[in-house]
Amino acid sequence: MLIEISCDKFESCGKPRPPIVFRKGLNTVLGDSEGTNSIGKSTLLLIIDFAFGGTDYAKSDAVRHISTHTVNFKYEFDGKPYYFSRSTLTHDRVNICDESYNVIGTPITINKFNEMLYGLYNLDLPGMTFRNAVGRYIRVYGRENLLEKKPLLYVARESDENGITALIKLFGKYGRFEELKALEKERIEKREAFKVAMKFDFVPANITSKKKFDENVKQIAELKDELDTLTKQTDKKLSEEDLQQADIASELKGKLAYARRQRTRLKSQLRAMEMNMEQGVVLTECDLTDLLKFFPQTDVKAIGEIENFHTKMKDVLAAEFEEEKQRIAGLIESADVEIAALESKQSSLGVPAKLPKAFLDKYSELSGRIRGLENQNEAYDQSKELKSDVDKVAAQLVDVEEQELRFLQNDINTKMANINDFIYNDKAHKPPILDLKSIKSYVFETPDDTGTGTSFKSLVVFDVTVLDLTPLPALVHDSPILKNIGDAPVERIMELYAQSKKQVFISLDKGESYTKRTNEILNETAVIHLSGNGNQLFGRSWNIQQ
């Protein structure tokens, strides 16, 4: 856990402040009884967030007015201390230090530091980063997660889905979601790859309707009847082997036609490249002399420089043209080899003499049309199967979402009801309700009570619930959250904070309006007392004109 924070810019009445030491349970940044503003309460909470790997402090007013400074902080895990420091100038790096905060070795990135904290806190949360877990529950004035009706919000305009997903991960319920989402992604990619393959004719063009599929089935049957009639009319003595050879000959003919078309296309490309390489106008000295006869003011030198540039560019491009030419020539050579192999296979097939050319051509045509229609229908079936696979996973995902969200919602609402009863010491006050409508939408409210105080109390209840039910290591609540809540509920909330086995950091002003027990808890748990007249966090306030 976080043990201490220090900075050589922290002052009190002109003297350096000692390190601020923290404990398990409640840690209070306590203001004065006058409620003096701009003394550093929220700033210190941002510095605590800075020690937890956050970045907001580096953009705060304090950094603009104090200029570059370094924050030192100490953690302790299983009795072992860990020392770090972080400069506001290079806040994307964290220094590993010795016990005197002397830097040891090379700084690590902020991402590596957060990964380190993830491990040290033993957070086993698939798909969850340390900051995504902790940062959402560090609620400090000026940050974007202070909306009492949107407890899952982390940054402005974040979707409800992101917040709900983060909550699921924090509760360790994301494993099944992750498996299905990965499977869904894989099957969608497979379907999209199939579409691309159809676009580039690697598989037959897909037919898009069952009507066309049925038409193909009917046409295939008709073509097969025609093929059967053809063979019977040609020679009733044709053997099964003869027909198999005719099928092979038909297939070879189709492959040969395709290979020859490919070779013709490649040769056309090669000829076009060779013409581009050979063409070009060379501007001679005679040409320039003739040009001056008609246009005496022409800047012949500039034209010469341009022509020289063109010549250099041609030399540069020539190498690229030559490389591409060699590549295409290689493809043509491969096509020649394939065509030769097919021709050799065709000549060695040994089609019986009894199969006349007219028969073979017609047989080849009909067989080709049948194969084409069958391939279309196979592609249609495959496309339907791929879509069905995607739909099945999507349906499974919906079922898992519904099941897990209901369990999660029930656990949270049950715990919130217990905490709410503790705060009011009765069961008469309605507790807040989290309604996870879907993975993409939620509502957080206290039924029949939309008052500001109740809404912020409900936010506190939700956060304490999450702190108790998950591995979340710490919670930070700034004074604007607590100031809006009634005095009696605040007392019970302070007791809740103090009883926590984890760390809770709050800021609040000392005040006579609070109950005696509240003031006792605030004074017992105060880690620093701030006020005006030089006792601000940095020994001064920049909202006072000097």
pLDDT of the residue at 420: 95
Question: Which amino acid is present at 329?
Answer: A
Half-sphere exposure of 428 (CA within 13 A, CB side): 3
Digit-coded pLDDT (tens) for 101-113: 999 989 999 999 9
Please indicate whether residue 281 or residue 9 has the higher confidence score (pLDDT).
9
Please indicate whether residue 41 or residue 394 has the higher confidence score (pLDDT).
41
Digit-coded pLDDT (tens) for 83-104: 999 999 999 999 999 999 999 9
**CA 198 to chain CA centroid, nearest Å:** 29
**Domains in the chain: boundaries:** 239-353
pLDDT of the residue at 257: 74
* DSSP code per residue over 56-80: GGGGSHHHHHH-S-EEEEEEEETTE
Question: Which amino acid is present at 339?
Answer: I
Q: What is the pTM of this model?
A: 0.68
Q: Which has the minimum average pLDDT: 166-170, 349-353, 530-534?
A: 349-353
On the question of pLDDT at 491 being above 90, the answer is: yes
On the question of pLDDT at 291 being above 60, the answer is: no
CA distances (Å), 309 to each of 26, 80, 299, 303, in order?
75, 69, 16, 10
- Can you tell me whether residue 14 is helix, strand or coil? coil
Q: Which has the minimum average pLDDT: 15-29, 358-372, 408-422, 439-453?
A: 358-372
pLDDT of the residue at 298: 60
pLDDT of the residue at 347: 63
Phi, psi for 70 (deg, rounded to 5): -115, 135
Question: Which amino acid is present at 264?
Answer: T
Which residues have C-beta within 8 Å of that of residue 362, sequence separation ≥ 6? 230
Q: For residue 295, give the DSSP letter.
A: -
Share of the chain above pLDDT 70, in %: 79
pLDDT of the residue at 284: 55
pLDDT of the residue at 166: 94
Q: What is the mean pLDDT of residues 476-496?
A: 93
Digit-coded pLDDT (tens) for 223-271: 777 777 776 666 544 555 555 666 676 666 667 777 788 788 878 777 7
Q: What is the mean pLDDT of residues 437-459?
A: 92
pLDDT of the residue at 289: 63
CA distances (Å), 201 to each of 195, 376, 423, in order?
10, 12, 69
SS3 content of the chain, % helix, strand, coil (to 5): 55, 15, 30
- Is the CB of residue 14 less than 8 Å from the CB of residue 494? no
- Is the CB of residue 428 less than 8 Å from the CB of residue 481? no
pLDDT of the residue at 54: 95
- In the block, tokens 């897990």 appear at 404
pLDDT of the residue at 325: 78
Round the average pLDDT of the chain to a whole number and report it. 83
Digit-coded pLDDT (tens) for 315-366: 655 666 677 778 888 888 888 888 888 777 766 655 444 456 666 677 777 7
CA distances (Å), 153 to each of 135, 156, 161, 178, 201, in order?
10, 7, 10, 21, 47
End-to-end Cα spacing for the chain: 40
Q: What is the mean pLDDT of residues 383-389?
A: 76
Alpha-carbon dihedral sign for residues 129, 133, 134, 136:
positive
CA distances (Å), 110 to each of 70, 93, 221, in order?
15, 5, 68
pLDDT of the residue at 239: 52
CA nearest 245: which of 347, 382, 146? 347
Q: Are strands 474-477 and 15-16 parallel, antiparallel or unpaired?
A: unpaired
